[in-house]
Structure 1
């Protein structure tokens, strides 16, 4: 009796190219071109923008890409970057928060009052500030859900109200200085990762990327779907490790890698995992894409809105605490000025859609890198803030324009 081998089963998702997972270098390049043609630009514009901005400023001032300036850049990115990370959450659900700057300022004032005036431990001051921020986000969610007041109006009121709270807490003082020997100030100014540990974290990050990719490939293989090959996953991990090791080496030529920057990157990675690998994260994208369809699918839309605002205001509180720690003082200008606009601009420039339902946590990291690179470059050129505002505004306008054009292209190609 002759046994005839059964034909190999074709992966289910190969019938729709939009669902196929690239398996190698060639497949990845082809998939990238397909996405770009379909209007899914992803992070390509912001990465290209960073390369162009860095090239221009380096040509105008060779100090720009020095290790010393890049270390300062990593410090400056963190407070606004954490605020931008919160903005990502509300933009994903199709809402907006205009009060993150005021919330961060009020949280900085709470921290200073609890630490300095009431002489309480650092951990209690941080807990009080973050709890206050989360309570503000919960309040926004209730007003939006119960009364139907647009988030633009709710948070615009919050911008003014919590600026008043900040001034009231300071009670006419220009600033409340934080102790220089406190853990908060040292964390934001003086603490750096030991060289050996920085290299170990770089290797660990690459290993984590490989482990996550391998687990995802195994899950897809078990479900009969296309999956990345082990060789391609290993190549990506090696490239990532090489890039991280070079970055660590270059920063270590100056002061090194700041713990505050490591904290920010860790927050971005945790948020990226939550958004891309959890049910809650998928709910955020679903509500931002179509709230009514999400409601009919059984998603508690009101709870998702409230959660997004709580996360945004909680992260704004963390950003305010670190901003005050960076200056070793909470003052009347903390969180004011262009902080609000920079946080929103960073999220949008990083690739988060103003229309909701598209974007990632990595957008906060890339977007704030663009904004702080512009600020740092203009400072080195001794140009005043007027140029920074004009250039940042132009970059933001280009980002929103690309988002709008890409959205229409996706709809024309049936990608939503």
Structure 2
């Protein structure tokens, strides 16, 4: 675990202790189960966002993609009677194609990630609203899908299956990012794309793969959200989720400049955000102030991280200078005049 991850874990414990002292219901089994479910749901696509951010990019279409894919999944299963395993595969396939389109536009046509995914945000939201005619897409009244419900909204040993899904996917992504050649290529591209290209890395493939991974995890999250809400309102479903994912990644140590990040960190970022949301609810803070509270905390966290990085950089420079002085590496001054030479 990195020092940043450890610091974030300590902060989570401190905030949790404060909330518990103010309201002991924070540690009630019901509240912990509901919080774990939300951590799993939001963690799925936040991890995907991390893969994009580490390349120096960004994906603003996540929330709209969740709405569009959610509508498609609900209609396939509830309206057209498509078997749910087939519906899940179709949704993941569509997500893969959308991520591939993002990657190609960015790498082949040299478009900015901000512009590409902002257009995706508008297109996917508009497509979802147009497809449903602004109506809410939902499962038929009284319809049950036992296996699907067990997979998505079920619980084992009191822990929601969405949380298990996030842990499993997070473990795979941790290995991919931190223990594989592909992960090293991702970090190299994020630090300096030109240098990575000159060193023989296929930067176009790496960047495209990052957007595909993000879209696939977003598609998986769309299925879980559709089953959690049981209906999808295309005009509001998934609103601001992309900002939530970006905030979780930044809190977790991902640099928006690229080249730096930790899967454990982004998961801890999701935990902290959900803990803060829980704090707002349990302390009776008006819901209208939810975003203000979280925004203030995120801003404080980013500022603290920047100050810590500056302090660390200054300390490294001072240590390096002290080492040079101890080794006698300081250059001697040249004589000022010819008389001194004689």
Same fold (TM over 0.5): yes
Instruction: Give yes or no for contact 2:4–2:265 (8 Å, CA) kept in 1.
Output: no
1:354 is aligned to 2:316? no
Inter-partner Cα distance in structure 2 for 1:345 and 1:136: 23
Name the counterpart of 2:155: 192
> Gaps spanning 5+ residues in structure 2: where?
318-342
Match among 100, 110, 121 for residue 148 of structure 1: 110
How many Å apart are 1:406 and its aligned residue? 4.2
How many Å apart are 1:126 and its aligned residue? 0.7
Match among 167, 188, 193 for residue 265 of structure 1: 167
SS at match of 2:221: helix
Name the counterpart of 1:319: 221
The structure-2 alpha-carbon separation of the partners of 1:115 and 1:161, relative to structure 1 and needing over 3 Å to count, comes to same
SS at match of 1:147: coil
How many Å apart are 1:187 and its aligned residue? 2.8
Inter-partner Cα distance in structure 2 for 1:393 and 1:301: 34
Name the counterpart of 1:293: 195
Name the counterpart of 1:57: 19
Instruction: Give yes or no for contact 1:110–1:128 (8 Å, CA) kept in 2.
Output: no
The structure-2 alpha-carbon separation of the partners of 1:336 and 1:406, relative to structure 1 and needing over 3 Å to count, comes to same
| Higher mean displacement: 375-384 or 149-158 | 375-384
1:13-412 maps to which residues of 2 (within 5 A)?
41-177=3-139, 179-189=143-153, 191-193=154-156, 195=157, 256-333=158-235, 335-409=237-311, 411-412=313-314
How many Å apart are 1:333 and its aligned residue? 4.7
Question: What's the TM-score, normalizing by structure 2?
Answer: 0.86
RMSD, aligned CA: 2.1
> Gaps spanning 5+ residues in structure 1: where?
1-31, 33-39, 196-255
Deviation above 6 Å: which 4+ runs of structure 1?
Answer: none
How many Å apart are 1:365 and its aligned residue? 1.4
The structure-2 alpha-carbon separation of the partners of 1:144 and 1:107, relative to structure 1 and needing over 3 Å to count, comes to same
Inter-partner Cα distance in structure 1 for 2:173 and 2:236: 25
Instruction: Give yes or no for contact 1:180–1:186 (8 Å, CA) kept in 2.
Output: no
Inter-partner Cα distance in structure 1 for 2:224 and 2:190: 30
Inter-partner Cα distance in structure 2 for 1:188 and 1:334: 21
